[in-house]
Each structure stands twice: as C-alpha cells, then as structure tokens.
Amino acid sequence: MCGEETPSNLPRVGARVDFYSSSTRQPLGNLLFHNPSIPSSSSATHVRFSSPSSACSSRSSSPIPEYRDDDVLVSIHVSGDMSKPIRESGLLQQFTLPSTSGEDGCEVALREELSLVVGIGIIGRRVSMTKGDEVLADGIIGFNTLPDSMACL
C-alpha cells in the first residue's frame, strides 16, 4: 500500500501526504504532519504545507484561524480508499489553511495533536483539500523519514 518497507533504523519525521489535482492529476504540493519539538514523536502538533505556488501565508506557529470563505479546508477521512468518491470516505478531522499567498508555504499549529500511527491514527487515511464546493486535490498520508544521508546530521 505504501511502497517499499521503511527501515526501522531511520528516524521518523512525521507523516506526509502528496497532493494531486482532482481534475488533472498534476502534483500540487504536500502536507507534512510533524512535531517540531520532538521530530521522532508519534504525534503531530503542526502541519506544514509546501507548494510551488503556496496556498498559505509565510511560516507561522500560531493556531489555525477560524474558517473563512477563501481558506482551504483540509479533511482527513476515515477511509483511505481512493476509488470511492470523497463524500463516501467519512470524516475523521478537519482544519483550515489560510489562502493568502506566500513564497515558502506555511506552517501552522494544530488545535490538537494527531496520532501518527496506523489504525487509530492518520497513517493510510485519505486527505482532501477543498475551497468552497470545489475539490482541489487529494492523497493518502504515509510515514515520512529522513534519508540515510541526512539521518546522521
């Protein structure tokens, strides 16, 4: 489901989802769920969005603001089945990303910690990004690790 087995000796750095456009299947960016204070933590306290044309304001560690009409709504679904319509995937968690433009993407604090484990956590679940009624992109959350070359830094 998630590709090759990740060696257990690599440090985990959160969870990641790569987003692809729902209409064109072109890559749109990624979300990294992580804990900046404890990189090997099995829970995430922050989310960082990165994209060539970022959908967020510059890095910020302030809590995610209340939803506005021009914000991007991120939904973590119960199911990880990409063959089903999003409306049939259930809803586990939602948060918003501000839609103001920024060069480096953004990092925002989550209102509550998210578990980075399979089953009861968010690993293997489907995530969608919507703006209003339009589905912008979706993808599956997987483990994120440092490559061997960076693990010893």
pLDDT bucket at 71, cuts 50 / 70 / 90:
confident
In a domain, 2, yes or no: no
Q: What is the pTM of this model?
A: 0.75
Question: Residue 106 maps to which CATH number?
Answer: 2.60.40.200
Cα torsion 122, 63, 107, 133: sign? positive
Residue 82 has pLDDT above 60, yes or no: yes
Q: Taking a C-beta distance cutoff of 8 angstroms, is the pair 142, 16 a contact?
A: yes
Does residue 3 sit within a domain? Answer: no
Indicate if the pLDDT at residue 25 is higher than 50: yes
What is the predicted pLDDT for the residue at 70?
Answer: 65
Specify the number of domains making up the chain: 1
CB atoms within 10 A of CB 59: 12
Whether 52 maps to a domain, the answer reads yes
Count of CA atoms in the C-beta half-sphere (13 A) of 85: 2
Q: What are the pLDDT digits (tens) for 104-151?
A: 578 888 989 999 988 889 999 999 998 888 888 889 999 887 665 444
Specify if 1 maps to a domain.
no
- Is 92 contained in some domain? yes
Model confidence at 100: pLDDT above 70: no
Q: What is the residue range of 95's domain?
A: 12-145
Identify whether 5 is part of a domain: no
Residue 153, in any domain of the structure: no
Backbone angles phi, psi at 51, to 5 degrees: -160, 150
